[in-house]
Structure 1
Amino acid sequence: MWLFVCIVLQSAPPVQGYNYSMVPVNTTVYMGKSTTFTCSIVPGNGMLNFTARLPLNSYTLQCPGKNLNFPSMSLYGSCDNKPNQNTASWQMSNIGSDVNGSAFICSGDGLDVQVGYLWITGASKYYLMLFGCVMGGFFGILIIFGVTYVSLKRSERLQECFKGKPEEEDDIEGVEEETIKD
């Protein structure tokens, strides 16, 4: 009996377990830059699901499978299937602050879920620059109006130009003399 059990155990192929060779990691990038999230399992004959969970929508890449492209969002998903490794990648380019906190979730056959998050830096610099431009424009217009007002106040030629046609003046001195004589 033991001989039979030993023969069966030696003749059965070993069970191949899947392992991650690469998992998505938390990534911090500057606005306008690019980044790539990658997930791989070994051996390469297993199924791999890699989801990009953005604030407004989620996209799932299944490997082996076909590549996904979302040019309007600058989001590209690709699969690379080799006998010894199955790899899925999400690439984002021209990153804006609207995707801050996006999650990239990888799950393989019988493996724990792995998650990497995208964090955006440099957004505060953008708002500071916007605030500076708005305030600079406001004070620039204020200075232009101030200089124009002072120029109008001091220039007799400009005052005459903006006064319009002079009206006929009554002879006030003549009226006073007549009332005094009465």
Structure 2
Amino acid sequence: MGFLQGPALLPVTFPEPPQLDVVPSCKWLLSVYSQDILARLEDIKAHITSTYGSILKMDSTKKITKKLAGTAKRTALWLTSVGNEHGQILISVLTAQEGAGLDRMASDLVKRYEKAGVDPPVALYVDCGCCAEAAETTKLQARFSGWPQLLVRLDIWHFMQRLALGCTTNAHQL
């Protein structure tokens, strides 16, 4: 109103507003979004597989597999993941038994580091199977044989649990 009542040389007229466009349907929006994702799929894969770390942590859990539903229900018992020092997951595998399928996961992770030309990690923290007598090689050291300098150690959480229980063995001496 203030604009209309102000001094002007010519009378002010406004055009009618344009007609509103029809809003696309939900199916159309999902279709366009899916096509956009598929067009960038190689970039997304490259971004996901370009995550590395110098300190790794490997852990297995049953909690995730209990949440599987539908046809996937009861197809796996363990989820084993390897993460880096920033908490990013580098690789995961669903298995029917603990330990099964980990050889392939480990060899694929070693190959991924080699193909990228990234320095191998210096330490791997795990919840079990980390320690052996000086002359022995653990299963994990054998799995990650592509990284001969890799130190396999018990992670701090499981060390605290064992310490609290008073666990003193040759492998985990206090």
Q: TM-score, normalised by structure 1?
A: 0.19
Where relative contact order (Cα < 8 A, 6+ residues apart) is larger, the structure is: 1
Q: TM-score, normalised by structure 2?
A: 0.20
Decide which structure has the larger Cα Rg and report it: 1
